[in-house]
Amino acid sequence: MKTKTLKKIGIYLAALITFILTMFPFYWMVTASIKPFKEIFINPSFFPRQFSLAFYTQLFEQTIILTHLKNSLWTAILATALTLVLAGMTGYIITRYSVLAGEFMARFTLFTYMVPSIILLLPIYLVMQALGLINSHVGLVISYLTITLPFAIWMMRSYFATIPTVMEEAALIDGANHFQTYLYVVVPQALPGFISTAIFVFILCWGEYLFPLVLLSLDTMKTVPVTLAALVGGGQNINFGLLMAASTVTTAPILILFLFLQKYLVAGFAAGGFDK
């Protein structure tokens, strides 16, 4: 009994230490954004002794971060929606039609996900330039698909593999075609998988830096990762308070999304580990 108690205490202690180490950077980011400059470097303090919103005022007055947030939100939502439509149908076909080509496609898409996006940067830029999609959010969304689709197809494939085919077979016997079976029978059952995949894909798009940096040159078209990089500048005389305020504003939508949909995220992790 004593051994079990000690083991439980050790587990809780390890969890507490992990939680503190994980959350401390976020705590420092938020508190640094509401401290006066002297409390960040000259006379640093763990708890803010004086609250100030000067850095947030400076952020909204000197930058167009709200426009960049809107651009990030718009492109991330559109890329996520397109990814779910394409990855959902592809993952369903791979799991329901046991052919060699389908299994090859599943494993090949996983391989393409491992390719760094910087390798794809030049070919994508040349294609977008030929199509006239430079400085276009449409071109940016298409470039996002190169990193989101392989990941999403693999996740949806794993999730569809856990869904029994009994109801689908019954729908086909009752006269439904394959598309109707997928849309009205499979999709409702796979909704947790779609939501968890959407969260991952949205986060990938929200934090993507290289494609917006290269494909967008107009300031009004840029996204928040480019804004944060601009605030860092060349690494000299960085206004850390302003940077932390921008980081807090940028991180807030992701945290809100995670808090409301975390149970689906856990379901996605569980389904992603299944392979038949």
Q: Give me the tens of pLDDT residue by residue for the chain, a chain 276 residues long.
A: 667 788 888 888 998 999 888 888 888 888 888 888 777 777 777 777 788 888 899 889 888 999 999 999 999 999 999 999 999 998 888 888 766 666 677 677 777 777 777 888 889 999 999 999 999 999 999 999 988 998 898 888 888 888 888 888 888 888 888 888 888 888 888 888 898 889 889 999 999 999 999 999 898 999 999 988 888 766 566 788 888 899 999 998 888 887 777 766 665 555 544 444
Please check whether residues 116 and 217 belong to one and the same domain.
Answer: yes
CATH code, domain carrying 94 = 1.10.3720.10
Q: Helices 137-160 and 240-272: crossing angle, nearest 10°?
A: 30
The confidence score (pLDDT) of residue 78 equals: 96
Please check whether residues 25 and 125 belong to one and the same domain.
Answer: no
CB 242 within 8 A of CB 227: no
Q: Which two tokens stand for residue 78?
A: 């559109």
Q: What is the pTM of this model?
A: 0.83
Nearest to 206 by CA among 142, 122, 133, 144: 144
Residue 117 CB neighbours (<10 A): 16
The confidence score (pLDDT) of residue 70 equals: 94
* Secondary structure (3-state) at 104: helix
Instruction: Return the beta strands (E) in the chain as ranges.
Output: none
Residue written as tokens 């909204």? 60
Please check whether residues 184 and 203 belong to one and the same domain.
Answer: yes
* CA dist., res. 14 & res. 114, Å (int): 32
Cα distances (angstroms) measured from residue 23 to each of 10, 20, 26, 215, 239: 20, 5, 5, 34, 23
Please check whether residues 72 and 118 belong to one and the same domain.
Answer: yes
Domain, as residue range, for 207:
53-272
Q: Tell me, rounded to whole angstroms, the distance of Cα 111 from its chain centroid.
A: 19
Please check whether residues 177 and 211 belong to one and the same domain.
Answer: yes
Please check whether residues 29 and 93 belong to one and the same domain.
Answer: no
* Secondary structure (3-state) at 83: helix
Q: In one letter, which amino acid is 10?
A: G
Please check whether residues 39 and 57 belong to one and the same domain.
Answer: no
Number of folded domains that form the chain = 2
Please check whether residues 120 and 47 belong to one and the same domain.
Answer: no
